[in-house]
């Protein structure tokens, strides 16, 4: 029993290790490059940079909790952004007064969210009703979504937005970057969904044992569809931020984000086999990655070396987690059936 009791104390939670890593990386970078890393300018720029892929990581997290994955997040993000961008360029004149362009912007946002939800619905149906393995279903659908975006744009960037569009990605409210606010909101929403709703509890339980979920008369199909719709919605928000920050939309933006999102979710302690994962872990993983990435940038480490370091970090954390998991399993295996 002491084993279980100790796993509940804060210091032994996997998230605590992440906190230490985040603080350590932050400290290290501050020491190595105090005047640049700790500058207000750098801190703000970091806060603008990470929300877009961090939101994709949140989308990844909820699908991973069910033991699935969503490889279409970037495809969904770009398709949503392209649709919003087309609406904006077709109907909103860049010279339009702000009061008018806001209406078109809201319309574009609504359209983007609908596309996200619809894409999620497609993924959810493929996984739930057709029983496809999520990794293949979303790999395929991601290509389809990207394909639609290419077909709509001919592969080139859509640009020429009214100034109001920049609010999503570049503005600050009370000194806090809007993307960061959006990320914080979505993280809180996801946290509440997972810990305070019947749906969230079912998601975790299903991930822990899908067969037992079936035997417990859980409506698995509906639950899975909801999971992928949420992932789709989150992806479309990320798409809007990317669009605003780039002041354009293109079918192949953020191609490195897919891997990054998976990486962050796993770093954040989400069990890729389902059944365990906390939003706080993902947030800490995002911060660690961003600190590391910015810091290395300032130290003028080449991009190749940066990828090497990211990969090493991922493996390190996974090995540590595996050891913890094995030890935990070992202690359970000893209890007789």
Q: Which of 131, 215, 300, 304 binds other proteins (CB under 8 A)?
A: 215
Q: Which of 212, 316, 319, 320 binds other proteins (CB under 8 A)?
A: 212
CB of 296 to other proteins, least distance (A): 37
Q: Which of residues 3-62 bind other proteins (CB under 8 A)?
A: 4-5, 8
| Residue 327 interacts with other proteins (CB under 8 A): yes or no | no
CB of 253 to other proteins, least distance (A): 34
- 3-class secondary structure, 147: helix
End-to-end Cα separation, the chain, in angstroms: 16
| Residue 185 interacts with other proteins (CB under 8 A): yes or no | no
Q: How many CB atoms lie within 10 A of CB 270?
A: 28
Closest to other proteins by CB, 1 or 95 = 1
Q: Which of 13, 125, 132, 208 binds other proteins (CB under 8 A)?
A: 208
Structure-derived torsion over alpha carbons of residues 172, 174, 180, 182, reported in degrees to the nearest 10:
-90
DSSP letter string, 168-228: HHH-EETTEEHHHHHHHHHHHHHHHHHHHSHHHHHHHHHHH-HHHHHHTT--HHHHHHHHH
Contacting range for other proteins; rule: CB under 8 A; set: 59-67, 102-110, 209-217, 279-287: 209-217
CB of 4 to other proteins, least distance (A): 4
Q: What is the C-alpha to C-alpha distance for residues 83 and 16, in angstroms, rounded to an integer?
A: 41
Q: What is the C-alpha to C-alpha distance for residues 322 and 18, in angstroms, rounded to an integer?
A: 14
Q: What is the C-alpha to C-alpha distance for residues 233 and 202, in angstroms, rounded to an integer?
A: 20
CB of 36 to other proteins, least distance (A): 45
CB of 268 to other proteins, least distance (A): 18
CB of 2 to other proteins, least distance (A): 10
CB of 89 to other proteins, least distance (A): 37
Q: Which of residues 260-319 bind other proteins (CB under 8 A)?
A: 275-276
Token readout for 291 is 């600190």
- 3-class secondary structure, 158: strand
Q: Which of residues 187-206 bind other proteins (CB under 8 A)?
A: 192, 196-198, 201-202, 204-205
Q: Which of 12, 209, 247, 321 binds other proteins (CB under 8 A)?
A: 209
Q: What is the C-alpha to C-alpha distance for residues 87 and 113, in angstroms, rounded to an integer?
A: 13
Q: Which of 130, 154, 217, 300 binds other proteins (CB under 8 A)?
A: 217
Q: What is the C-alpha to C-alpha distance for residues 198 and 146, in angstroms, rounded to an integer?
A: 34
CB of 173 to other proteins, least distance (A): 27
Buried/exposed 91-128: b ≥16 CB within 10 Å, e otherwise: ebeeebeeeebbebbeebbebbbebbbbbbebbbbbbb
Contacting range for other proteins; rule: CB under 8 A; set: 78-86, 114-122, 135-143, 210-218: 210-218
Token readout for 237 is 């928000």
Residues near other proteins, by CB under 8 A: 1, 4-5, 8, 192, 196-198, 201-202, 204-205, 208-209, 211-219, 275-276, 331-332, 334-337
């Amino acid at each position: 029993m002491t084993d279980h009791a100790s796993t509940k104390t804060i210091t032994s939670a996997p998230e605590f290790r992440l906190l230490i890593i985040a603080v350590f990386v932050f400290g290290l970078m501050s020491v190595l490059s105090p005047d640049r890393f700790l500058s207000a300018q750098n801190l703000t720029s970091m806060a603008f940079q990470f929300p877009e892929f961090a939101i994709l990581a949140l989308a990844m997290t909820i699908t991973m909790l069910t033991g699935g994955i969503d490889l279409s997040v970037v495809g969904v993000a770009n398709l949503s952004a392209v649709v919003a961008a087309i609406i904006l360029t077709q109907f909103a004149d860049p010279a339009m007064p702000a009061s008018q362009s806001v209406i078109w912007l809201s319309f574009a946002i609504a359209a983007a969210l609908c596309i996200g939800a619809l894409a999620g619905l497609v993924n959810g149906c493929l996984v739930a009703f057709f029983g496809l393995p999520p990794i293949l279903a979303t790999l395929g659908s991601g290509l389809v979504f990207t394909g639609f975006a290419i077909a709509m744009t001919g592969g080139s960037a859509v640009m020429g937005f009214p100034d109001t569009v920049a609010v999503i990605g570049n503005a600050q409210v009370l000194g806090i970057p809007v993307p960061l606010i959006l990320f914080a909101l979505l993280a809180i929403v996801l946290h509440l969904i997972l810990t305070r709703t019947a749906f969230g509890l079912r998601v975790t339980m299903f991930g822990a044992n899908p067969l037992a979920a079936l035997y417990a008369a859980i409506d698995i199909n509906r639950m899975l569809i909801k999971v992928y719709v949420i992932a789709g919605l989150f992806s479309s928000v990320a798409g809007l931020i990317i669009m605003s920050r780039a002041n354009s939309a293109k079918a192949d933006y953020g191609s490195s984000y897919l891997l990054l999102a998976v990486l962050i979710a796993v770093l954040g302690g989400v069990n890729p086999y389902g059944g365990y994962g906390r939003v706080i872990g993902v947030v800490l993983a995002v911060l660690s990655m961003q600190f590391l990435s910015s810091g290395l940038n300032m130290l003028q480490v080449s991009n190749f070396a940066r990828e090497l370091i990211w990969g090493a970090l991922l493996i390190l954390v996974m090995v540590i987690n595996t050891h913890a998991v094995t030890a935990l399993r070992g202690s359970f295996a000893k209890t007789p059936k």
